[in-house]
Amino acid sequence: MEPTLGATGEDSSLENYSERKKIQQSQAYHKKSRAAEAPLWPDSCAIGADPCEQITKAIQSYYRRKRTSRQNTETKSSKGPQILKCLSTENVLQFFKKYLTEFEQEEIKGYKKVWYLGQKAKKIQGSKSLSFNSGYDTENGYYRMVIKDHIAYRFEVLEEIGRGAYGQVFKCRDHKTMELVAIKVIRNDKSIHNEAMAEVKILDALSKKDKKNTANILHMKEHFYFRNHLCITFELLGKDLYTVMKENNLQGFSLSQVQHFAKDLLACLQLLRKEGIIHCDLKPENILMSDKNHNHVKVIDFGASCFEEKKRQKCIQTRLYMSPEMLLAKGYSFPIDMWSLGCILAELHTGSPLFDGDNWNDQFGCIMEVLGEPPMELLRGISNKCFCRYVLSADSQGFLKKIVNNNGAVRQPGSKNLASLLKTTDANFLDFIQRCLRFKPEERMTPEEAMQHAWIQGQLHTRKSTPKPCAADNTASGRRTLCQASFYSAVISMPTC
């Protein structure tokens, strides 16, 4: 058989065609491999175009080639995020040096891998000759963050979502995994740093015990140092429960939804008690939505937490959720979290704090209005460090003084009915709250006992819940003076005594 000629006059027999096809496939393969490995040359930018925009597109194109190239993509398991390859420090200094400040050109040499440069940010021109951490800190030790700038040449700062006594929290994009995360940047202060390291220790212990992520606790991803600041990376959750109520005119949730939240919170408290950890600052601001349907929540802010055998001597608990033994400086243990839980669940249902005192003394008066006078043994032997020391008579023998709030009204013990304040006819819910709010810590339910309570074990309604109207006074209270920032601010702030 004579070979046939194609339109170009080439030999088009089956044997020659097959060999030409192999050569073409080999050439295409090598061309694709070279493209995937090609560096981001600066001269690839279009002439006359915005170099910043062009370099961003070049980096994005580079990452796209990495993702689609089988030979040059690293992946985790099917359940984990995709890990992108990074640029080397040498490549950055060779091709992108003009996008770095003089300070960063030296700083970046301490990083082996670079995922993000923050080339569109209006960067601070840091210098070792400047005061306040080379110009990157305020005089109070807060980090001067710039939107679109980087953290550790990996995270892109999108917005500040919280600020408190211990630092700031930023919403960021992790350019290593392209996930959204929350990064807590601790103030550049030695004492605060030591407190934050205690929180890291607790978070690390909880993460190891909650590997299946069933305890409804905010998980720490990692921690590192950047420009003399301790940074802690967390999963990014939704809004806190107080913000959700505030957006609905401080209306409470339906009882079925509160029941859902209670189960999630008790699962958290069970693990904490098992591991010997006291949260110490449970409140609606420290409880965040963990799913889009608002059916589940997670507990955050372990900055005030401690191990039971290593209790802190500082002021802890936000006033409106502070237990009687804390107000009286009688010591504390796990039951203070159960007291806070009772206060929280009541507020979630009604939309208003259950005990809304104007100050420390008035707070104790609010509690007595509902629960009556406390046992005498709880009042005897209190120290001068007691928050509400003016509640007692001068001889400190357990005689109570009249407590007057800022409006001049006298707080009469036992003058208010808990069922009326809760606005409920559910006997099981009322009993649950009552067993959380006992004056004597040893008489309160444990998380294990609470999980077996009839109200928790009752059938959970699956209908979608909406905040329920409440006739109570929903004006701003003294609690908000302790925590005014957005939902992550509670992660980093401690109540002020």
Position 147 in a domain: yes
Residue 469: predicted pLDDT: 37
Contact in structure between 168 and 143 (CB atoms under 8 Å): yes
User: Which residues constitute the domain of residue 301?
Assistant: 241-485
Query: Is 84 domain-assigned?
Result: no
Q: Per-residue pLDDT averaged across 349-363, rounded?
A: 93
In this predicted structure, what is the pLDDT of residue 360?
86
CA distance 241 to 236: 15
Structure confidence at residue 41 (pLDDT): 43
In this structure, what token pair is assigned to residue 437?
């709010």
Q: Within this chain, do residues 274 and 319 fall inside the same structural domain, yes or no?
A: yes
In this prediction, residue 369 carries a pLDDT of 95
Residues 280 and 380 occupy one common structural domain: yes
Q: What is the pLDDT of residue 82?
A: 60
Q: Does the residue 446 lie in any domain?
A: yes
Q: What confidence score (pLDDT) does residue 331 get?
A: 86
| Residue 317 and residue 252 in one domain | yes
Beta-carbon count within 10 A of 47 CB: 6
229 & 276 share domain: no
As a whole-number percent, the residues of the chain with pLDDT over 90 amount to: 59
168 lies in the same domain as 225: yes
Lowest-confidence region among 113-122, 369-378, 394-403: 394-403
- Output the average pLDDT for the chain: 80
294 and 227, same structural domain?
no
How sure is the predictor about 328, in pLDDT bands with cuts at 50, 70 and 90?
Answer: confident
The answer to whether residue 321 scores a pLDDT higher than 50 is: yes
Please give the tally of structural domains in the chain: 2
Given a cut of 90, is residue 263 above it in pLDDT? yes
Closest CA to 151 of 126, 114, 178: 114
How large is the average pLDDT for residues 246-275? 95
Q: How far apart are CA 167 and CA 209, in angstroms?
A: 27
pLDDT at 402: 74
Report H helices in 285-380.
Answer: 324-327, 335-350, 360-371, 376-379
* Candidates 281, 301, 356, 362; catalytic one: 281
Instruction: Tell me: do 306 and 422 sit in the same domain.
Output: yes
In a domain, 39, yes or no: no
- Better pLDDT: 392 or 296: 296
Query: Is 67 contained in some domain?
Result: no
Same domain flag for 312 and 185: no
Amino acid 296: pLDDT? 92
Per 3-state DSSP, the chain is made up of helix, strand and coil in percentages (nearest 5) of 40, 15, 45
Nearest to residue 174, comparing CAs of 131, 251, 236, 253? 236
**For residue 432, is it within any domain?**
yes
CATH number, position 293: 1.10.510.10
Binding residues for ATP: 184
Among 235, 264, 286, the domain-final residue is 235
9-56 pLDDT, tens per residue? 444 444 455 566 566 666 666 555 555 444 444 444 444 455 556 666
Residue 88 lies in a domain: no
Residue 491 vs residues 58, 161, 233, 338, 464: alpha-carbon distances, Å: 37, 11, 12, 20, 29
* pLDDT of 308 strictly over 80: yes
Specify whether 281 is catalytic. Answer: yes
Claim to verify: residue 339 and residue 438 sit in the same structural domain:
yes
CATH of the domain at 134: 3.30.200.20
461/54: higher pLDDT: 54
Could you tell me if 144 and 256 lie in one domain? no
* Confidence category of residue 408, pLDDT binned at 50, 70, 90: confident
Residue 354's pLDDT is 97
Model pLDDT, residue 486: 30
Same domain? For 160 and 306 the reply is no
Query: Measured between alpha carbons, how far is 181 from 160 in angstroms, rounded to an integer?
Result: 12
Residue 253 pLDDT: 94
Residue-level pLDDT at 454: 96
162 within some domain: yes
Amino acid identity of residue 201, one-letter, is: K
Say what the pLDDT of residue 410 is. Answer: 85
Domain C-terminal end among 235, 253, 270: 235
Where does a domain end: 203, 219, 235? 235
The pTM of the full predicted model, rounded to 2 decimals, is 0.75
Which residues belong to the annotated binding site?
184
Of 298 and 45, more confident: 298
Average pLDDT over residues 402-413: 83
- 117 versus 472: the higher-pLDDT residue is 117
Q: Is the pLDDT of residue 435 over 50?
A: yes
411 and 272 within one domain? yes
